[in-house]
Amino acid sequence: MAHVRRGLMAGLLAGLLLAMLNFVTDSTPGRTLPDALRWFGISIADPTASRFAGFFLLIVLGGIVGIIFGFVQGERFISIGRSLLSGLLLGLIWWLIFSLLLTNIMNHASPLSLQFGMFLVTFPIDLLFGMVLGSIYFQLQGQPVVAQA
Amino acid sequence: MSISSSANERQHTEVKQTQGIRSTSPITLSEWSINGLALIRIFVGYLWFQQLFWKLPPDFAGLYPYIVRESLHTIIPGYGFILQHTFLLSCTNMQAAVGCTLYVPLAAGVWSAELIVAISLMFGLFTRAGALLGSLLAIQLYVGLAYTEWIWTYVMLVLLCLALTAIPAGRRLGFDQWFAPGLQTAAKNHRVARFVSWFA
Alpha-carbon distance A1 to nearest alpha carbon in chain B (angstroms): 24
- DSSP letter, residue A110: -
Does residue B137 or residue A148 have the better pLDDT? Answer: B137
CA distance B191 to B173: 27
Mean pLDDT of chain A: 93
Cβ pair A135:B123 closer than 8 A: no
Q: Which pLDDT value is given to residue A101? A: 95
Cβ pair B122:A124 closer than 8 A: yes
Calculate mean pLDDT across residues A43-51.
94
* Backbone phi, psi, residue B52, to 5°: -80, -20
Q: Which pLDDT value is given to residue B1? A: 46
Return the residue in B46, B47, B127, B179 with the most chain A beta carbons within 10 A, the one to mutate for interface testing: B46
The answer to whether the beta carbons of residues B122 and B130 sit under 8 Å apart is: no
A68-96 pLDDT tens trace: 999 999 999 999 999 999 999 999 999 99
Residue A10 sits at the chain B interface (C-beta within 8 Å):
no
pTM of the model: 0.90
Q: Per-residue confidence at B199, pLDDT binned at 50, 70, 90?
A: very high
CA distance B34 to A67: 25
A96-119 pLDDT tens trace: 999 999 999 998 999 889 888 889
Mean pLDDT of chain B: 90
Q: Which pLDDT value is given to residue A104? A: 94
Alpha-carbon distance A25 to nearest alpha carbon in chain B (angstroms): 8
Cβ-based neighbours of A64, under 8 Å, separated by 6 or more? A11
Buried b (16+ CB within 10 A) or exposed e, B144-177: bbbeeeeeeebeebbebbbbbbebbbbbbbbbbb
Does residue B151 or residue A88 have the better pLDDT? Answer: A88
Alpha-carbon distance B100 to nearest alpha carbon in chain A (angstroms): 25
CA distance B118 to B158: 14
Calculate mean pLDDT across residues B55-60.
94
Q: Per-residue confidence at B197, pLDDT binned at 50, 70, 90?
A: very high
Calculate mean pLDDT across residues A31-57.
94
* Every domain of chain A and the residues it spans: 2-141
Return the residue in A21, A23, A118 with the most chain B beta carbons within 10 A, the one to mutate for interface testing: A21
**Residue B17: how many other CB atoms lie within 10 Å:** 11
